Chains A and B, each alone.
Chain A
């Protein structure tokens, strides 16, 4: 069986703004029907990449193919992609209906078909009652829906979304995230979603590319990125991690013994071929052992410096010697975790939870 044509194929894409390298030899292949996120801090090049795919910016080097066709010579208005802009960029002089119909009118679709498709899409995103309103009479969430309707009514091969929920409050954002996900499943359109919000990326995406300084730092699905971050940057940007520096003491076939300031730690993964390595552990994997506990493998003594109660759970800032550690415990039973500030206790760092980073 032949491999299906990727929706978007990006090869060695480079873009410079003066001295700044916004995109540095990016290679990406995005599958048909995929919800793909570009995640990274501001200035990492994710929006530039999106604009190049849309044809709104021109790369200095490299190639973009849309549905297997080289898009190099295609201007923005001839590309089979549509964009939902961060600022929505609705036409202020047109009402909602005219905004949604704009793309079809530009393509000279016959009016009865425009009428029918606009009505269908407006029903899909639930903005029918707003048809006659002007953009300045809409709330942020409503503008968002109009911007989405205006893009998907054209039935693009790929929908590009540039932080579409960035300007909305948290509650609305959560709601629209769920709607976006189900919309994407229903339409089957490939979505490329730019965001700096790691939670959003985790909730929405089939695959995520974590970007930094114009490069893709790591690519994978949500679980792979979260469970096996390869670099310090990814481990810190996607969730949080406690980092522990150490030296490899003994390599076994399926485990590594690492000498750290906390003593000897065993990790279940193989170490890279160098002596100095960094271990990372997710705060929810750190186990606080109720006293009295006995010392053992990967058990270290720590002191509680800070207790933060967040409702569903409790976060603890710990310190073992000079090494800071963070732990998160779910509050599954009432009064189950009654550790106090200043308390000394034993902490377990399970070998399979200790990740060995590449840098």
Chain B
């Protein structure tokens, strides 16, 4: 009889099952306990109703979703659609501002000599090591009436001396942009670093001026990084509410604080769940539309 060559050991079907349970089991269990179960319970709770004392009662109802869309007890009031729209606009604004800052920044860093690149990247990342809230409080100091930025603005005659620069929309967007900048700049930098400049030269050789060289030869090359960064900023920015609260003066309700309000202060878990479900749905819808328009590369970035 010819000796059989074994590559690795032979396992019985049962043995194989045990092994795969051991290797992939913990991961599956983690995702199930901490992601799938909470997600499912939110979906289920969103169809239930609130008891008198804020408890969740298992009566099936569509009331929460109707209320969200604006059909409340007091007639039509598009409060929540407005909140959603406001959150999306704020996220889009943040993404746009981050791109406008990150594009020149990453091209600048990529053009630096090798050892300075490391330093520059470090400077981009360092703010990330600080807690977001602490950073925001630091911004409050800078923007306050006695802060150097406000004093500089006053010296230029933009505001009255002694006035603070916050709460204001400007402060909200400045802080949001600075906070999310590294999230967009890092994947973008990875793309910018890899740019094949001979393609830009080819475009210029074929009659493209500076603007069209960027549009036709550079942008397509950095698109994957730009899109990845945009998604990474867009998703958390949609749910962001601490910064608008602290820098914008807590006057505007956004998705994040609307949800927080329902689960906390209002003790209306079913309605909070309904907002969460719809928010997730809207973000996923947005990503789907994005993937369709960005084509093949966009889909690859998403996955």
Contact = CB atoms under 8 A, between A and B. Distances in A.
A77 interface: yes
B220 A83 contact: no
Given A91-B217, A93-B220, A150 B206 contact: yes
Contact of A89 (B196, B207, B212, B297): B196
A76 B216 contact: no
Contact of A91 (B205, B212, B220): B220
A140 interface: no
Contact of A85 (B201, B213, B221, B297): B201
Contacts of B206: 77, 82, 102-103, 106, 150-151, 154
Interface in B194-237: 196, 198-199, 201-209, 212-213, 216-217, 220-221
B199 A92 contact: yes
Interface string B119-139: 000000000000000000000
Interface in A40-91: 54-56, 75-78, 81-83, 85, 87, 89-91
A54 to B, nearest CB: 6
Interface residues of A, number: 24
Nearest to A87: B198
Contacts of A89: 196, 198-199, 201-202
Given A85-B198, A91-B199, A92-B199, A76 B204 contact: yes
Given A76-B204, A103-B207, A150-B206, A92 B198 contact: no
Contacts of B213: 77
B218 to A, nearest CB: 11
A150 B204 CA distance: 13
Contacts of A55: 204-205
B220 A77 contact: no
A107 interface: yes
A17 B219 CA distance: 29
Contacts of B205: 54-56, 76-77, 81-83
Contacts of A154: 206-207
A75 B220 CA distance: 23
B32 to A, nearest CB: 40
Nearest to B199: A89
Interface string A241-279: 000000000000000000000000000000000000000
A77 B207 contact: yes
A107 B213 CA distance: 13
Interface string B282-301: 00000000000000010000
A85 B220 contact: no
Contact of B216 (A82, A87, A102): A102
